[in-house]
Structure 1
Amino acid sequence: MPEKNFIYTKKDYVLISLLLIVYSIIALYNLGSLKAPETYWQNTNSGETFTTDLGEIKALGRVYYYGGLGEGKYRLDFSRDAATWKTGPTIQKKNIFVWEYITVDTPARYIKFTAESQGAALNELGVFTSQGAKPLVVKSVIPGKISPLTKGRPEYLFDEQDTIPSRPSFYNGMFFDEIYHARTAYEYLRLIEPYETSHPPLGKLLIALGISLFGMNPFGWRIVGTLFGAAMIFVMYLFGRRLFQKPEYAFICALLMALDFMHFVQTRIATIEVFAVFFIILMYYFMYKYYVMNLQPTEFKKSLVPLGLSGLTFGLGAACKWSSILAGMGLAVIFLAASVNRYRHEANANRRKKTGETKRNRILFMSISWGIVFFIIVPLFIYFLSYIPLMMVPGEQGLKTILVYQQHMLNYHKNLVATHPFASTWWEWPIIKKPMWYYSGQDYLPPGKISSIAAMGNPAVWWVGIAAVIASLVISLSEKNKKMFVVLAGLASVYLPWVFVSRLAFIYYFFASVPFVILCITFIISRLVERNPRLKPWIYGYLSLAGIMFIMFYPILSGLVVSKTYAATFLRWFQGWYFFS
């Protein structure tokens, strides 16, 4: 059916503005610290040393450390008088951009640090007494054997003491795949060969934008993804408004996205999924506009605008993650259907005007030609441009570098053989059989307290969504609903390919399907309410339930410290739902 002409009203602006304000406050709260050590000491050779003088003998308890790129090993020796030394523990720096500490439990005035490996960056050290809440003041740093090629100075390890947290946590360090994606974003900014190369660069370059604005700290590497998460809610409102015409239904689309657990978690960590999913929603939003234009006689040139924007966002998504290319299969089907509709309109017009087939054949040829431009040439150009920062890295070889990386990506995804305790299969995702446990901060908390972050769906969205998708499919087929054809084609293209994938997979792969599931839920709600307005209280109740679920599970979505008893009693509904150990 043709799309009705509509304009956005004051009600639209009020609804989406209020939702975005409330969501943004919740999403930005406790997102990450703006403080992290940025100066560093990176020894060139093993055996390099320096000594710290605390000014007087102290009962030492812990040594905090925050490391940058690379793995390192550092031996600690302690002395009361700088003459007699006692060998202490060794710092094994394996993690990056995260605070850790070792227990030392010895009285000393002097601490000698000896690098037993080479090439790792150490950003900051903090020396504490057994019960101390603040780091001890280091009176002086005495360089020992230091190579002239070493980067930074030992003094840099004690120049940002205000960044040392009272408790290491997700708030002040990296977790999950941030160690790949946020790290690589940092490397792009420093023109260092990137560590993570199994995905195209654009998503990591977007993360790098936040780092360039706010620094290499948790807030800096997470903020852009969080803003994209808020923008995703806005686009869902626009999509729902076009599909269902009324502000109320558009608001339901946006609200369910805001209340979905997967959306909240994935957009608050520095990984690339948020960017791919954002562009997938946009490419289908614009393709829907194009498709609807071709359900009725429309000037051909006008229809090229949404088609071009769909191709543009397809290219941006593909430059973030290859899964966006899977979404392109649905776009191709919709484009083909739109072209057939256009051809039929031209044929009918020709019969009425008693003209030949020249014009409709020309329109068909032009449609296909522009489709090739927008969905092949433009995306390839965007994809190429995303590699420019990589080609700026010293030692890279231009176009040859790009081809080498494509082969590497293909081999990685094709030949990946691995196991993971939180791996799951495609059919397990909608039923939330196995949430993925991203973060556990139990080691630094008192007994009985937990801090966790887990990726899973809101049961009120995902479980209801299963029934809604089936109902939408049945209704669309029986009524030949052409608008929902776009939604179902999108869902099929991002979800069904995983049926045939045997490699390791995880529940967050379902994130790209969630927007389409929400559109199906809203479609069913609209049909129910339009046929029986007395069902509205039940719809309000359903939306309230989704909100209650979000509030209940908020602690294990955000890392908020809560009692282990609360999580065990109210949140762990099934044995496969791990939020604590």
Structure 2
Amino acid sequence: MRDFHPTDRLNGWLVTLGITALAFVIRVWNVGYPNRLVFDETYYPKDAWAILTYGYEVNWPDSANDSIINGNANVMSTSAEFAVHPPLGKMLIAVGEYLFGMNSFGWRIMSVVFGTILVFATIRLARRLSRSTLIGGIAGLLLTLDGLAFVMSRTGLLDIFQAAFLVIGVSCAVADRDWFRVKLATHLERAGLRDLGGQFGPLVWWRPWRLAAGLAFGAACAVKWNSLYALAAFGILTVLWDVGARRLAGARMKSWWALLADGVPGFVYLVVVGFLTYLATWIPWLVTSGGWDRDWGRQNPDNPLVRVLGEGFASLIRLHQDIYAFHTGDYINNATHPYSAHPALWLIMARPTGVDAVNNIAAGTDGCEGPDTCVRVISAAGTPVLWWMAAAALVVCIIWWLAARDWRFGVPVVAALSTYLPWFMYTSRPLFFFYAVTIIPFTCIGLAMVMGLILGDREPKQRRRTGAIIVGVAIALVALNFAYIYPILTDQLLPYSSWLARMWFGSWV
């Protein structure tokens, strides 16, 4: 019941903080460049500034981007804008804008912070799963050197916040699994029992890690709705872990009562707490009067929703209906986009997303030395070697989980697939590779754990030495590959031929 955990706590924290610091430094360096709104930054930083000012999203004139870059952000109207995502991610962007102003550093700095938190949480989750500081460090280093996580950590979009909250939620769920088993072991020790002897065992109502998981999953849903799938997956998995814990403690057939006795409180901790967390992020919209659909309740006083819930909450439900209709309606399903990428090809990185590009820079202009023209681009591209190895490792994790019955390998599998497979239901609309930033932390963990299998035990030494060489070469290839694509992640000036050399497949162009 008291599963083995790493005893090198000091080293564990030194490794965690060292790699986290490295991730922060390379992400924050020159993050304010380019000094313009790139890709979907044309939406979320402006929405963040509006929420900061009015408490809800408003419309902006067509010339707003130029005005903002020139230092004048006070050009927004007071008329409500229809926003298609919940507010939390935009609120977090607004924190940076509040501290540093409505400028490129201000609207990107919180992405840097949460991109760094993502690395931190990945290390701790991988360390807890593998029971190894080395494997935790490898997972964090791999994620630090991923191009997609890097770009999303330096751009004012929503997905990096979602990814961080999801990894934190999964980490808390796994911590709850360990905590609960220790609780059962302590009960047996205090009672002087070898096992439960077929009895169900104590009811454990207070589950602090499960509460934290509910808060984190609720926050993830308050950034983007598709986080619900991960919440559902781990809601089921954590209750099954409770069944397994009680069976291991000797409850035998009565362990299945955990589906009710532990499952109902688990529902409260994860779903109810998650819902309340989600609802709390709408408070600014509720306490103001100008948001989209905010006056629907007042205009429809006889509607049953208004009579039961009051005009504020009824209006909020109406807004959610409109948002859902947008995400599933004809407009989005008939839309097209040049960077649309089918999710079947995400894990092999077949179609990266172009975030920003300045093409055909003439020789003698902007530092272009010629004779070719030059380009400046930001591509939301993963580090190819890492993504390909991680995709293969995911298959190994599935096999090891099912064949070797090692629950630890199931965690990155369930986490990755719960953020990945649901997208196949929405392939009629444009989907983008950068959505996969919620997948790569978990596949990095899976790859690190597979590297742990390759490393093997300390004895025999020759076996360990061979494994270390293989793992070391793999990590070095990831680092070299990241360094090679770094210019296309950071808008650096490149001769056209040098840019093309980094476009290994025609679908990348």
Which TM-score band applies after superposition, normalised by the shorter structure? 0.7 to 0.9
Deviation per residue, 1:260-284 (Å, 9 max, x gap)? 1110011111111011111111111
SS in 1 for 2:456: helix
Does residue 436 (structure 1) correspond to residue 353 (structure 2)? The answer is yes
1:550 is displaced (CA, Å) by: 0.8
Does residue 563 (structure 1) correspond to residue 449 (structure 2)? The answer is no
Partner of 1:424: 341
Larger relative contact order (CA 8 Å, sep ≥ 6): 2
Partner of 2:377: 452
- Consecutive unaligned residues in structure 2, runs of 5 or more: 58-80, 188-202, 296-311, 458-462
Q: Distance in 1 between matches of 2:477 and 2:229?
A: 33
> Which one has a larger percent helix, Structure 1 or Structure 2?
2
Partner of 2:169: 283
State the TM-score, normalized to the length of structure 1. Answer: 0.70
Q: Distance in 2 between matches of 1:558 and 1:377?
A: 41
1:389 is displaced (CA, Å) by: 1.5
Partner of 1:374: 269
Partner of 2:506: 575
Deviation per residue, 1:331-360 (Å, 9 max, x gap)? 1231231232244256x2589xxxxx6xx7
Matched-pair contact (CA < 8 Å) for 1:16–1:234: yes
Letter in 1 for 2:229: L
1:519 is displaced (CA, Å) by: 1.4
1:241 is displaced (CA, Å) by: 1.1
Q: Distance in 1 between matches of 2:256 and 2:469?
A: 52
Q: Distance in 1 between matches of 2:206 and 2:387?
A: 34
Letter in 2 for 1:328: L
Distance 1:238 1:567, change over 3 A: same
Partner of 2:316: 402
1:12 is displaced (CA, Å) by: 2.3
- Across the two proteins, how many residue pairs are aligned to each other? 432
Partner of 2:430: 504
Equivalent of 1:517 in 443, 452, 458: 443
Match runs of 1:135-150 below 5 Å? none
Partner of 1:527: 453
Cα RMSD, aligned residues only: 2.3
Q: Distance in 2 between matches of 1:543 and 1:2?
A: 33
Equivalent of 1:344 in 240, 244, 247: 247
1:507 is displaced (CA, Å) by: 0.7
State the TM-score, normalized to the length of structure 2. Answer: 0.80
SS in 1 for 2:440: helix
Partner of 1:242: 128
Matched-pair contact (CA < 8 Å) for 1:257–1:263: yes
Q: Distance in 1 between matches of 2:128 and 2:242?
A: 21
Partner of 1:51: none
1:302 is displaced (CA, Å) by: 8.5
Deviation per residue, 1:437-466 (Å, 9 max, x gap)? 110133677362221111121112110112
Partner of 2:192: none
Match runs of 1:27-66 below 5 Å? 27-32=27-32
Matched-pair contact (CA < 8 Å) for 2:119–2:144: yes
SS in 2 for 1:177: helix
Matched-pair contact (CA < 8 Å) for 1:435–1:455: yes
Partner of 1:186: 49
SS in 1 for 2:379: strand
Match runs of 1:88-487 below 5 Å? 171-191=34-54, 193-194=56-57, 195=81, 197-293=83-179, 297-298=184-185, 301=204, 304-345=207-248, 348-349=250-251, 365-395=260-290, 396-397=294-295, 398-415=312-329, 416-417=332-333, 418-442=335-359, 446=365, 448-487=373-412
- Consecutive unaligned residues in structure 1, runs of 5 or more: 33-169, 352-356
1:318 is displaced (CA, Å) by: 0.7
Matched-pair contact (CA < 8 Å) for 1:291–1:334: no
Matched-pair contact (CA < 8 Å) for 2:166–2:216: yes
SS in 2 for 1:451: strand
Distance 1:241 1:437, change over 3 A: same
State the structure with more CA Rg: 1
Matched-pair contact (CA < 8 Å) for 2:393–2:446: yes
> Which one has a larger percent strand, Structure 1 or Structure 2?
1
Matched-pair contact (CA < 8 Å) for 1:334–1:486: no
1:305 is displaced (CA, Å) by: 1.5
Q: Distance in 2 between matches of 1:529 and 1:536?
A: 6
Letter in 2 for 1:463: W
